[in-house]
């Protein structure tokens, strides 16, 4: 079973936009009400067995069951009788809203942090139509239940053999732009991409966005910093408007549009860079970076602007789509190890050149790290036995034969040196 998401922009008219915004607020109210029930039930079980709080206590019967997804979903028909405005929203949209809350709750129980929060006005920006009997896309319109026909920019058609499974409606730039994420599904199965062809390792950084083991590199565009002056001006204008007025809302839309433009430019750069890497090689190794840790240091603004996590995710997707093998390796010590003799070559962050005191190998610091990433990736491939899964028409990887010799002779990698490229 193969499932993919295609994103399209839609252009609802004024009446449809007002109805979509009203649905968003209704879903937000249902989400918050269900969360309130959940929190009240949990708070009622926090009281000690032998005493209660002197200030306040939640009075819920001891035999009251946990407000699970199915229980809250079954209470929706009763709620529609008490609150008639809920009937304007498609019933399955409200059910998926409850499902969304309990998915967040289950994720919180699993990881131990990240308790679900109440959604403020404007924070609920999407809802889902979970199923369709027929294909809702007809030519250049999409038929949304209870909304009607909405013009859609179908910049790429739905592939043959795929059917529409669900549609998520997204609100962007404070409700001025609308998108749909169409989930398509097919019964075909796509095998995992085997290791084949030319292999490269890549190192991500702030001086250079990307450096490959073949000495190619990509400079880092400063998307946020280059437009920070314009953004600061728009934010200053918005701050001087009376909050809640029409001019204030217009100013907030301009700020949101600027953020949207920055994000689009960054995503476009990431996708084009990923395609360039796929043109260079058929096997790509990258560092498994701690993205959250990078966003908490002294260089957090630059790291967030570079968005390494988004780039790695998009690269993995592009590699899968184009039949390129992609894998991540341990990033620890890649810049502190010589890729030629595997000796430790400690250096501070300000040192941009790698010079090994053991073998005298000199190169750029990021290039040495990329070579080390490639060596670790090739070693992992041989260790996991993935190299035996290639087909007869595939080309051998550079350096794999040397790694096989190391394994067969029982000689540690550090004593042999760098595999010939």
How confident is the model over 257-314, as pLDDT tens digits? 999 999 999 999 999 999 999 999 999 999 999 988 888 888 899 999 999 999 999 9
pTM: 0.84
Of residues 420 and 99, more confidence is placed in: 99
Tell me: the pLDDT tens digits for 304-352?
Answer: 999 999 999 999 999 999 999 999 999 998 888 888 888 888 888 888 8
- Write 347-356 long-range contacts (CB < 8 A, 24+): 352/207
What pLDDT is stored for residue 387 in this prediction?
59
Q: Which residues, including other chains, have CB under 8 Å from residue 82's CB and lie 6 or more apart?
A: none
What pLDDT is stored for residue 410 in this prediction?
34
What pLDDT is stored for residue 406 in this prediction?
35
What pLDDT is stored for residue 273 in this prediction?
95
What pLDDT is stored for residue 63 in this prediction?
83
Q: Both tokens of residue 97?
A: 């809203």
Q: Phi and psi of 156, rounded to 5°?
A: -145, 135
Phi-psi region of 122 (alpha: psi -120 to 50; beta: other; left: phi over 0): left
Identify which of 242, 222, 169, 208 has the alpha carbon closest to the alpha carbon of residue 20.
169
Indicate the pLDDT class of residue 356, thresholds 50, 70 and 90.
confident
């Amino acid at each position: 079973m193969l499932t993919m998401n295609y994103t399209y922009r839609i252009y609802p008219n004024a009446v449809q936009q007002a109805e979509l915004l009203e649905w968003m607020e209704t879903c937000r109210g249902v989400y918050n009400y269900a969360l309130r029930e959940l929190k009240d039930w949990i708070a009622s079980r926090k009281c000690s067995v032998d005493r209660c709080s002197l200030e306040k206590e939640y009075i819920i019967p001891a035999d009251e069951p946990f407000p699970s997804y199915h229980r809250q979903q079954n209470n929706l028909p009763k709620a529609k009788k008490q609150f008639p405005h809920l009937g304007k929203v498609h019933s399955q949209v409200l059910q998926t809203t409850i499902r969304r809350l309990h998915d967040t709750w289950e994720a919180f129980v699993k990881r131990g942090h990240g308790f679900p929060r109440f959604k403020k006005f404007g924070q609920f920006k999407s809802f889902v139509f979970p199923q369709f009997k027929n294909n809702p896309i007809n030519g250049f319109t999409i038929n949304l239940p209870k909304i009607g026909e909405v013009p859609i920019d179908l910049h790429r058609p739905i592939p043959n053999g795929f059917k529409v499974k669900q549609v998520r409606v997204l609100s962007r730039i404070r409700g001025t732009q609308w998108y749909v994420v169409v989930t398509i599904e097919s019964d075909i199965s796509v095998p995992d991409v085997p290791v084949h062809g030319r292999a490269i390792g890549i190192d991500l950084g702030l001086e250079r966005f990307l450096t490959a083991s073949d000495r190619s590199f990509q400079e880092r565009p400063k998307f946020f910093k280059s437009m920070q002056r314009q953004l600061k001006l728009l934010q200053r204008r918005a701050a001087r408007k009376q909050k809640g007025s029409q001019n204030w809302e217009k100013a907030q839309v301009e700020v949101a549009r600027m953020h949207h433009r920055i994000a689009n430019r960054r995503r476009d750069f990431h996708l084009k860079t990923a395609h360039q890497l796929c043109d260079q090689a058929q096997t790509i190794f990258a560092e498994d970076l701690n993205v959250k840790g990078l966003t908490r240091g002294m260089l957090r603004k630059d790291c967030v602007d570079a968005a390494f996590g988004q780039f790695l995710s998009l690269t993995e997707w592009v590699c899968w789509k184009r039949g390129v093998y992609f894998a991540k390796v341990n990033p620890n010590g890649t810049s502190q190890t010589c890729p030629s003799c595997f000796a430790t070559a400690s250096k501070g962050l300000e040192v941009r050149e790698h010079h090994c005191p053991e073998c005298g190998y000199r190169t750029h610091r990021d290039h040495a790290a990329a070579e080390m990433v490639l060596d670790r990736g090739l070693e992992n491939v041989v260790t996991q036995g993935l190299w035996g899964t290639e087909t007869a028409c595939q080309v051998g990887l550079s350096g794999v034969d040397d790694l096989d010799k190391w394994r067969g002779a029982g000689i540690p990698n550090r004593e042999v040196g760098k595999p010939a490229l």
